[in-house]
Amino acid sequence: MIDGVLSQQEINNLLRKSKEVDIEMELSEAERDLLGEVGNISMATAATTLSTILSQKVEITTPQVTLTTLSEIQEAMTIPNVVFQVKFTEGLEGSNVLLISVPDASIIANLMMGGDGTNPSLELSDLELSAVSEAMNQMIGSASTSIATMMKRDINITPPSTQIWNGDEVIVIDGIDPDQPIVKVAFRMTVTNLIDSHIMQIFNLDTVKDITNCLLGDSMETENQSETRNDELLKQEPDSDLQSKATLAKNIMEQPVAVQKPSFAEIQNKPAAEKPRNIDLIMDVPLEFSVVLGKTKRTIKEVLSLSPGSVVELEKTAEEPLEVYVNGKLLAQGEVVVINENFGIRITNIISASERVKSLK
């Protein structure tokens, strides 16, 4: 302050504090806690999805729920971020926005394309942006499914729109003004020893209110129903009957309980050739019989590069027997034969019971 006159910075700080007070009134403490739990569950599901995609260990911390604006988020950004936005088309109103830094997005894209995730870049190629967009699409989709399960309603979303935010650009999100109050759910995310940074979800207040009202409403309804049933029981029973039943319940609880070891009939070993008498009842049940020539793993980049005439090398050598599966369970091994111009399989070995058990692990 100079000679009783506020500087522009002091005016901005006062306006920001005033705005924060107004925003704080938008969300109660119970709603904050509930939203944090919803974010924790949904993003844990999303982290599991990302872990499957990357074949890496992905962990997230407990979320921090804060009320803010896009302008404040932009002021706090120090490096470019990739922004993924989906709109709810059914079950919820509003949008869900996911932010991740460009270097972290570069690592994710590199891992998806068969790299080791080292040497992250501050720029993303079109192919890398497409790869990380698919990963974020899977994450947001699994998170939305988790929210739908908690809310017990169907929730559908649009395909995500992707953009890159730089510090010198104005943030633009459909349906959200720069100074409009929004809810930020921030997590610390680690991917093995490659990524250790923060990832955040952004919801507008309409979406947050819909989620919290739905979940808090169900909780209060259940509690009210329980209290109503208890009141009805008290009205139906005379005091003397209630006292006698309470005394009876107490006496029952105080009686000693006899505990003994369970006894089982001795297991009898029957010859393998002896069939159960009712085996004929399931003789006509169809089973899926399949033969696996071989398997291999390829990266997304390698799969996208396939064209007519491409040769894919399998892990199985030419001398190894083929595997025969029945309903997805390994049953036998064999070799290929040709019968009337059709391929067939000659069984050369039946997998023993112990080996079949090991294959289930």
Which CATH number applies to 8-214? 3.40.1550.10
Confidence category of residue 67, pLDDT binned at 50, 70, 90:
confident
Global pTM? Answer: 0.54
Q: Is the pLDDT of residue 156 over 70?
A: yes
Q: Is the pLDDT of residue 123 over 80?
A: yes
- What is the predicted pLDDT for the residue at 40? 85
* Domain extents in the chain: 8-214, 287-359
Alpha-carbon distance of 159 to 169, in angstroms, equals: 24
Alpha-carbon distance of 299 to 318, in angstroms, equals: 24
Burial 131-146 (b: 16+ CB within 10 A, else e): bbbebbbebbbbbbbb
Alpha-carbon distance of 137 to 331, in angstroms, equals: 38
Confidence category of residue 53, pLDDT binned at 50, 70, 90:
confident
Please tell us whether the domain made up of 287-359 is placed in CATH 2.30.330.10.
Answer: yes
Contact of 131 with 299, CB cutoff 8 Å? no
